[in-house]
């Protein structure tokens, strides 16, 4: 019987049923816990920093739905906004005031953007932003980075991070040679690898897409000069710089990575937090680029549920909470992130385990490799077998973390200092057990 936690019979029963009906028993691969060799936890409910599984076990949650739950689960302001909208309908397929309000909020809070287009996922946001960059530049090739994940659109599944890396899927079947040939792959934090691609494909590169803070090979911050170098290469080559801020947007700071690092992107994608837990993504940028989008321009993009009023209401309430007190919440999140980082570092140094801790604000990863981890090559040296043993022992202690070495710990405003100290104390015990 696992320590401190009941058996998970209901999760096991549901998982058996689910596998007969849903490929792998899940609607997103990483949730299947394949890489950690566990039966996935089926959630029954969530509140604040905690989740309860269908067997009644309580966990402190450091996944936070993979980033959206920066306020914690069921924040009162978001619940109220959604309840109010429910009295007025759930989907219109027509413009509504909430879309204008959320667009205005995003434009006012994020530097260097004039216009926004709402979609229903991060995948849709990056896929659409790249089509827009290609239409705007009239070029075909794009540059992405090994270990960066931008959702599952064909062009971006080349050398991707997150679940693709976790499941060691090579080139994904179904992505045609014709598509893959236009996706060039560089090494994160390695400007020479980017410059070499520009030299080999002069005047052919529409966009560079980058996670300005990489979160899909574990947490890998940009080295000093990396983002600045990408900006210069894009300026020198007439290429669009696209920051994929689906994770870092409204998390790294109120203005995201552009604000945190003072780097201007040409297009930015968001997801997760801006939907407050509802399916929302968006892409945004300078007016001259965005106006190429239909119906104001020829680049087509559309969506039945784009700008869904319930999702807009949740997003407005979430960003309003984050903007309160001129972003005072980020000081709290940074302080909790620092407490987490120090506690994890102490846990690692107090053990014989070869590991390193990398963090930025309210994001962190323990890599089971000495590190430093600056790119996919160094991230992939991690001992994923050791990670899976760590994952299982933490689960039995009542802590839910992402079931992959190549993801992050997400801290929310609902986590207390006690929650974080309890977590890092458990990590210390577990590392000594491994
Ligand atoms: P979605 O289509 O999953 O909403 O967003 C895709 C996406 C785009 N860009 C970045 C930087 C992302 O991190 C993501 C999705 N993140 C993963 C977790 N690292 C989603 C979890 C999952 O795939 O189940």
Digit-coded pLDDT (tens) for 37-85: 999 999 999 999 999 999 999 999 999 999 999 999 999 999 999 999 9
Give me the active site residues, please. 149, 244, 272
Distance CA 70, CA 327 (A): 13
**What do you get for the CA distance between the two ends of the chain, in Å?**
18
User: What's the distance, CA 352 to chain centroid?
Assistant: 31
Ligand 1: centre distance to CA 381 (Å): 23
Give yes or no for residue 428 having a pLDDT over 50: yes
Q: Provide the whole-model pTM.
A: 0.97
Q: Is 407 in the pocket of ligand 1 (CB under 6 A)?
A: yes
Average pLDDT over residues 378-390: 98
What strands, in cross-sheet order, belong to the sheet with 356-360?
A: 356-360, 363-367, 409-410
Q: Kindly state if the Cβ of 122 falls inside 6 Å of ligand 1.
A: yes
* 403 CA from centroid of ligand 1 (Å): 14
> What percent of the chain has a predicted confidence (pLDDT) above 90?
92
Q: Are 124 and 281 a contacting pair, CB within 8 Å?
A: yes
| Mutation choice for ligand 1 from 270, 271, 401, CB with most ligand atoms inside 8 A | 271
pLDDT at residue 155 above 90?
yes
Count, residues in the chain: 434
**Closest Cα partner for 371 from 385, 355, 359, 394?**
355
Place of tokens 């760590």: 390
The dihedral of CA 399, 404, 406, 410: what is its sign? negative
* Per-residue confidence (pLDDT) for residue 3, from 0 to 100: 39
CATH number for the domain formed by residue range(s) 9-73+327-433: 3.90.1150.10
- How far apart CA 283 and CA 270 sit, in angstroms, is 6
The burial class, CB within 10 Å (0-12 / 13-18 / 19+), for 87 is exposed
Please give the pLDDT value at position 165: 77
Cα(85)–Cα(229) distance, integer angstroms: 45
Domain 76-320, CATH: 3.40.640.10
Instruction: Report helix angle 191-200 to 226-237, nearest 10.
Output: 10
HEC readout, 368-385: CCCCCCCCHHHHCCCCHH
Of the pLDDT bands very low, low, confident and very high (cuts 50, 70, 90), residue 170 is low
Is residue 2 scored above 60 in pLDDT? no
**Residue in 204, 231, 194 with CA at minimum distance from that of residue 133:** 204
Picking from 250, 404, 388, the residue whose alpha carbon sits closest to that of residue 319 is 250
Residue 7 has what pLDDT? 79
Q: How confident is the model at residue 396 (pLDDT cuts 50, 70, 90)?
A: very high
Minimum mean pLDDT range among 19-33, 72-86, 171-185, 314-328 = 171-185
- Closest atom of ligand 1 to 123 CA is 2
Using a 6 Å cutoff on CB, does residue 211 contact ligand 1?
yes
Residue nearest to atom 9 of ligand 1 (CA): 150
CA distance 74 to 414: 10
Pocket test for ligand 1, best of 216, 365, 409 (most atoms within 8 A of CB): 216
- When the pLDDT of each residue in the chain is averaged and rounded to a whole number, the result is 96
| Ligand 1 pocket, residue 166 CB under 6 Å | no
Instruction: Please compute the mean of the pLDDT values over residues 180-202 and round it to a whole number.
Output: 96
- Give the torsion sign (CA, 247, 251, 255, 258): negative
Q: Which atom of ligand 1 is nearest to the CA of 248?
A: 11
Q: What is the mean pLDDT of residues 402-431?
A: 98
Half-sphere exposure of 381 (CA within 13 A, CB side): 12
Q: Give the residue with greater pLDDT, 159 vs 21.
A: 21
Residue 5 has pLDDT above 90, yes or no: no
Counting from 1 in the atom list of ligand 1, the atom nearest the Cα of 162 is 19
Q: Answer whether 190 contacts ligand 1 (Cβ < 6 A).
A: no
More confident residue, 134 or 4: 134
Task: Establish whether residue 246 lines the binding site of ligand 1, counting it when its CB lies within 6 angstroms of any ligand atom.
Answer: yes
Task: Give the tens place of pLDDT for each residue, 231-288.
Answer: 999 999 999 999 999 999 999 999 999 999 999 999 999 999 999 999 999 999 999 9
Distance 223 CA to ligand 1 centre (A): 23
What integer pLDDT is reported at residue 82 of this predicted model? Answer: 98
- Give domain limits for the chain: 9-73+327-433, 76-320
Residue 163 CA to ligand 1 centre (angstroms): 9
| pLDDT at residue 250, as a whole number | 98
Rounded average pLDDT over 98-113: 98
pLDDT at 1: 38
Is 30 close to ligand 1, i.e. is its CB under 6 Å away? Answer: yes
Nearest CA to ligand 1 atom 1: 122
Residues 152, 218 contacting (CB under 8 angstroms): no
Ligand 1 lined by 248 (C-beta under 6 Å): no
Whether 168 shows a pLDDT value over 80: the answer reads no
pLDDT the model gives residue 4: 43
Residue 167 binned pLDDT confidence (cut-offs 50, 70, 90)? confident
| CB distance 271 to ligand 1 below 6 Å | yes
> Ligand 1 centroid vs 309 CA: distance in angstroms?
22
Say how many Å lie between the CA of residue 276 and the centre of ligand 1. 15
Burial 109-134 (b: 16+ CB within 10 A, else e): bbebbebbbbbbbbbbbbbbbbbbbb
User: Ligand 1: distance of its center to the CA of 7 in Å?
Assistant: 30
Residue whose Cα lies nearest atom 21 of ligand 1: it is 66
Mutate to test the pocket of ligand 1, among 145, 162, 166, 209 (most ligand atoms within 8 A of CB): 162
Q: Is the pLDDT of residue 6 over 80?
A: no
Give the pLDDT band of residue 110 (cuts 50, 70, 90).
Answer: very high
Q: Is the CB of 163 under 6 A from ligand 1?
A: yes
């Amino acid at each position: 019987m696992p320590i401190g936690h009941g058996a998970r019979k209901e999760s096991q029963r549901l998982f058996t049923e689910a596998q007969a009906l849903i490929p792998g028993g899940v609607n997103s691969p990483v949730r299947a816990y394949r890489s950690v060799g566990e039966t996935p936890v089926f959630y029954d409910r969530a509140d604040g920093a905690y989740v309860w599984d269908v067997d009644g076990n309580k966990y402190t949650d450091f996944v936070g739905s993979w980033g959206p739950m920066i306020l914690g689960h069921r924040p009162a302001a978001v619940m109220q906004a959604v309840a109010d909208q429910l009295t007025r309908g759930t989907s219109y397929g027509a413009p509504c005031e909430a879309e204008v309000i959320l667009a205005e909020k995003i434009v006012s809070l994020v530097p260097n953007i004039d216009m926004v287009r709402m979609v229903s996922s991060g995948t849709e946001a990056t896929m659409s932003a790249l089509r827009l960059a290609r239409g705007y530049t009239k070029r075909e090739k794009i540059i992405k980075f090994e270990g960066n994940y931008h959702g599952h659109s064909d062009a971006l599944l080349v050398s991707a991070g997150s679940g693709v890396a976790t499941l060691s899927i090579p080139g994904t079947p179904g992505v045609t040679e014709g598509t893959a040939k236009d996706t060039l792959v560089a090494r994160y934090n390695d400007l020479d690898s980017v410059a070499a691609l520009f030299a080999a494909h002069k005047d052919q590169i529409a966009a560079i897409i980058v996670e300005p803070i990489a979160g899909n090979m574990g947490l890998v911050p940009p080295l000093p000069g990396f983002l600045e170098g990408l900006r210069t290469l894009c300026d020198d080559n007439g290429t669009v710089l696209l920051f994929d801020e689906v994770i870092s947007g409204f998390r790294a700071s109120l203005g995201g990575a552009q604000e945190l690092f003072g780097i201007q992107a040409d297009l930015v994608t968001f997801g997760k937090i801006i939907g407050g837990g509802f399916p929302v993504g968006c892409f945004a940028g300078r007016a001259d680029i965005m106006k190429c989008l239909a119906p104001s321009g020829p680049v087509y993009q559309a969506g039945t549920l784009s700008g869904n009023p319930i999702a807009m209401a949740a997003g407005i309430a979430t960003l309003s909470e984050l903007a309160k007190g001129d972003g005072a919440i980020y000081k709290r999140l940074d302080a909790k992130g620092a407490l987490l980082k120090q506690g994890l570092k102490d846990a690692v140094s107090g053990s014989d385990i070869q590991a390193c801790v990398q963090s930025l604000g309210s994001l962190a990863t323990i890599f089971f490799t000495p590190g430093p981890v600056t790119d996919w090559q160094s991230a992939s040296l991690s001992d994923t077998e050791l990670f899976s043993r760590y994952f299982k022992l933490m689960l039995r202690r009542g802590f839910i973390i992402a079931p992959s070495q190549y993801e992050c710990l997400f801290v929310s405003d609902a986590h207390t200092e006690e929650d974080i100290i309890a977590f890092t104390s458990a990590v210390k015990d577990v590392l000594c057990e491994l």
